[in-house]
Amino acid sequence: MKIHVVEDYRQLSLKAATLVAGQVNMKPNAVLGLATGSTPEGMYSELVRLFHAGAVDFSEVVTFNLDEYVGLDSSHPQSYHYYMHHHLFNHVNIPAGNIHIPSGNAADMAAFCREYDQKIAAAGGIDLQILGIGVNGHIGFNEPGESLSVGTHLIELSRETIEANSRFFDSADEVPRQAVTMGMGSIMKARRILLLASGKSKAKAIRETVCGRVTPQVPASFLQLHRRAILIVDREAASLL
Ligand code: F6R
């Protein structure tokens, strides 16, 4: 695990965007695994800036998003479909057919999850997987528990996650109770992983990820076993290291 501690959120966003743009410049048809949430917003806005400045071209890039809430329409402002179009896809030149986001409304969820994993494999696997981290150590929506799932699957969101994500909704009652997420196996198979964390609220999860035991109680701790995992954390998120 390589850990970069940067001063603040802006530095984190710039460093992350530089790394993603570098990946795409090195391999124009790179397969990117993408995350949503507050943390990568600054990175996406910097990538949009780099694109408009002619510093990166996404025309051959293929993307797979980590997760989506169950039950929200893709036009819902809190859906991850909406988020991705709003922050990135509407502003860069990734072909629509190259974009993959799990559906939270598939009639046959098991079949959908299987197909999602098959599409990742058919694309050649993920070159660079971007991750945020939950206050409870989740990555994607792989929540702490007794065991972790390998492939894309349906999950029940934990109480902590519902509470943490209620800031995006009018109340905690409106936060969906379920989500579809890529599994730990799919994440760990990525050739490179970039985990971003900002702010004091993530400090404990970052300490457990870096210094704790590898345990399904802290899904991000499995990144200790990945050969090319990079963490970019700001001072506050690194404050308990
Ligand atoms: C989102 C995702 C989640 C978030 C995590 C942190 O696609 O997979 O694991 O990365 O919940 O969210 P923020 O960045 O909002 O603190």
Tell me, yes or no, whether 20 lies in a domain: yes
Residue 166 alpha carbon to ligand 1 centre in Å: 13
Residue-wise pLDDT for 124-156, tens only, equals: 999 999 999 999 999 999 999 999 999 999 999
Tell me, yes or no, whether 188 lies in a domain: yes
pLDDT of residue 168: 92
Residue-wise pLDDT for 170-206, tens only, equals: 999 999 999 999 999 999 999 999 999 999 999 999 9
140 ligand 1 Cβ < 6 A = yes
219 ligand 1 Cβ < 6 A = no
Active site residues: 67, 136, 138, 143
66 ligand 1 Cβ < 6 A = yes
Residue-wise pLDDT for 1-18, tens only, equals: 999 999 999 999 999 999
Residue of 47, 104, 38 lying closest to 76 (CA atoms) = 104
Host domain of residue 27: 2-234
38 ligand 1 Cβ < 6 A = yes
Instruction: Tally the domains of the chain.
Output: 1
Tell me, yes or no, whether 63 lies in a domain: yes
For residues 56 and 47, is the Cβ–Cβ distance under 8 A? yes
Q: What is the CATH number of the domain that holds 103?
A: 3.40.50.1360
Q: How far is it, in rounded angstroms, from Cα 203 to Cα 140?
A: 18
Tell me, yes or no, whether 239 lies in a domain: no
| Protein residue whose Cα sits closest to atom 10 of ligand 1 | 132
Residue 159 alpha carbon to ligand 1 centre in Å: 15
Tell me, yes or no, whether 201 lies in a domain: yes
Confidence band of 122 (pLDDT split at 50, 70, 90): very high
With residue 100 as reference, give the H or E element that holds it. Answer: strand 99-100
Tell me, yes or no, whether 214 lies in a domain: yes
Tell me, yes or no, whether 88 lies in a domain: yes
